[in-house]
A and B are shown apart, each in its own frame.
Chain A
Amino acid sequence: AQSVTQLGSHVSVSEGALVLLRCNYSSSVPPYLFWYVQYPNQGLQLLLKYTSAATLVKGINGFEAEFKKSETSFHLTKPSAHMSDAAEYFCAVSATNTGNQFYFGTGTSLTVIP
């Protein structure tokens, strides 16, 4: 079975500061991992995905995430927060034995303080 835990339902950072959003996964098979962002009243947009190639994955808008198997983690980072980064972020896991069923974390709301 697969599951995702996102630590911290709310994260606040100052503009220009490091963004770190935490995601830990549980999977009985090699996982595929994703980070999505959701702006108010919109659907989810993919930021980046890990599909067993490079462990450091670069995504859109300056975000990146590192897959650490030993820690079962896939934390999302961005060196310098921008006001436009304020949104809800979701980590998700999928696996070859679950078709296209994605398991999402409960989300982290990111606030950027000017």
Chain B
Amino acid sequence: KAGVTQTPRYLIKTRGQQVTLSCSPISGHRSVSWYQQTPGQGLQFLFEYFSETQRNKGNFPGRFSGRQFSNSRSEMNVSTLELGDSALYLCASSLEIAYNEQFFGPGTRLTVL
């Protein structure tokens, strides 16, 4: 089975721009979660989607949004980028049960200049 894939792997944007990141989960996984990883804050949960519905949301401003398609692929969007949005954005997919592990993609490294 192919693993979780994320595109693009690297991205450079300037302040005020918007960005869309993509995540393709492992085949059969219907839950997709997004995390932001920074040296100062560590891994922070952004949101989780299951069957095209946002099921959980972390404590991030409304500039961060996401969606999930019928094939379980997910996108996250960040509007009006700020310098502090520079981070590694990780996507993880899993089966729907809480005790199942999350499988992580390699991440998208976003740099905001």
Contact = CB atoms under 8 A, between A and B. Distances in A.
A72 interface: no
Contacts of B107: 42-43
Contact of A43 (B31, B55, B90): B90
Contacts of A51: 99
B94 A100 contact: yes
How big is the A interface, by class?
20 to 34
B45 A102 contact: yes
Nearest to A104: B43
A106 interface: yes
A94 interface: yes
24 contacts: A32-B98, A36-B104, A41-B106, A42-B106, A43-B105, A44-B90, A46-B102, A46-B103, A52-B99, A94-B98, A94-B99, A95-B98, A96-B99, A98-B56, A98-B98, A99-B50, A100-B96, A100-B100, A100-B102, A101-B56, A102-B45, A102-B92, A106-B42, A107-B43
The SS class assigned to the B binding surface is: strand
Interface of B: 4, 31, 33, 35, 42-43, 45, 48, 50, 55-56, 58, 90, 92, 94, 96, 98-107
Interface string A79-92: 00000000000100
B98 A90 contact: no
Interface of A: 32, 34, 36, 41-46, 49, 51-52, 90, 94-96, 98-107
A44 B94 CA distance: 13
Contacts of B99: 32, 49, 51-52, 94, 96
Task: Identify the interface centre among B33, B94, B99: most chain A CB within 10 Å of its CB.
Answer: B99
Given A49-B101, A104-B42, A99 B48 contact: yes
